[in-house]
Chain A
């Protein structure tokens, strides 16, 4: 199955600043996804990122706050913009390999703390 390298693994940021999270997949994938997970809670989908098209955002998430890039079939970034303490969370990327039967692969997550 595909392997995703996600970085940074954690960061502490000042409010009002922005953080860009990167995900690199070791194989080409058509669809990538970004999730947010509060500690002890389930995952909430932020957006779907397909190469060559605009990201599709879920209700409650907007492009100005969470701009996403998908420059090629193996890479994506999520930026958390103008951060506030409410943005403190774990952010995960995910991909569905174009081949294989092992379901979606997830990165190890980025633990973000906004102070």
Chain B
């Protein structure tokens, strides 16, 4: 399973765009990149998943360069409620036993008024 490296923490202000970059130099060919958000006293919540190039949904965008050794989660116009820990995970879609999620340290995002 590929190891991921993220900044430990980031600060931002309401209305700004936040970009969190994750390094995963040992990503395998069949690995997907997935980001999760976790609020205190809650389990992680799926944000977005991608394999290459760019993926966008209603809450975020995920940018993946051609070499796939890194990825960037982009949160447009953050609000105070986006204050949370964001985890980048790398792994294949499960096709049987043994393909589970390995969590790195995560990035603690603090959005200020």
Residues of A within 8 A of B (CB): 1, 4, 6, 30-31, 33, 35, 42-45, 48, 50, 53, 56, 92, 94, 96, 101-109, 111
How many A-B contacts if CB must be within 8 Å?
A: 58
A106 with B43: CB separation less than 8 A: yes
CB distance from A91 to the nearest CB of B (A): 10
We find that the number of chain B residues with CB closer than 8 angstroms to chain A is: 20
Which B residues contact A (CB, under 8 angstroms)?
34, 36, 41-46, 49, 87, 94, 97-98, 100-106
Bound Cα distance from A102 to B36, whole angstroms = 10
Least Cβ distance of B42 to chain A in Å?
6
A42 partner, pick from B34, B45, B106, beta carbons under 8 A: B106
Say whether chain A's binding surface is mostly helix, strand, loop, or mixed: strand
Bound-state CA distance A111–B98 (Å) is 27
